Chain A
Amino acid sequence: GQNIDQPTEMTATEGAIVQINCTYQTSGFNGLFWYQQHAGEAPTFLSYNVLDGLEEKGRFSSFLSRSKGYSYLLLKELQMKDSASYLCAVRHAGNMLTFGGGTRLMVKP
Chain B
Amino acid sequence: DSGVTQTPKHLITATGQRVTLRCSPRSGDLSVYWYQQSLDQGLQFLIQYYNGEERAKGNILERFSAQQFPDLHSELNLSSLELGDSALYFCASSGSNEKLFFGSGTQLSVL
Q: Which residues of A line the B interface, CB within 8 A? A: 31, 33, 40-45, 48, 87, 89, 91, 94-102
Contact = CB atoms under 8 A, between A and B. Distances in A.
B99 A33 contact: yes
Contact of B103 (A42, A45, A89, A101): A42
A45 B98 CA distance: 11
Interface string B81-92: 000000010100
Contacts of B102: 42-44
Interface in B28-69: 33, 35, 41-45, 48, 55-56, 58
B25 interface: no
Nearest to B105: A42
Given A40-B88, A44-B102, A98 B45 contact: yes
A87 B98 contact: no
A44 B90 CA distance: 12
Contact of A33 (B35, B48, B100): B100
A95 B90 contact: no
14 contacts: A31-B98, A40-B107, A41-B104, A42-B90, A42-B103, A42-B104, A44-B2, A45-B99, A89-B43, A91-B98, A97-B100, A99-B42, A99-B44, A102-B42
Contact of B99 (A41, A48, A102): A48
A99 B45 contact: yes
A16 to B, nearest CB: 26
Given A40-B88, A43-B90, A95-B48, A87 B105 contact: no
Contacts of B45: 96-99
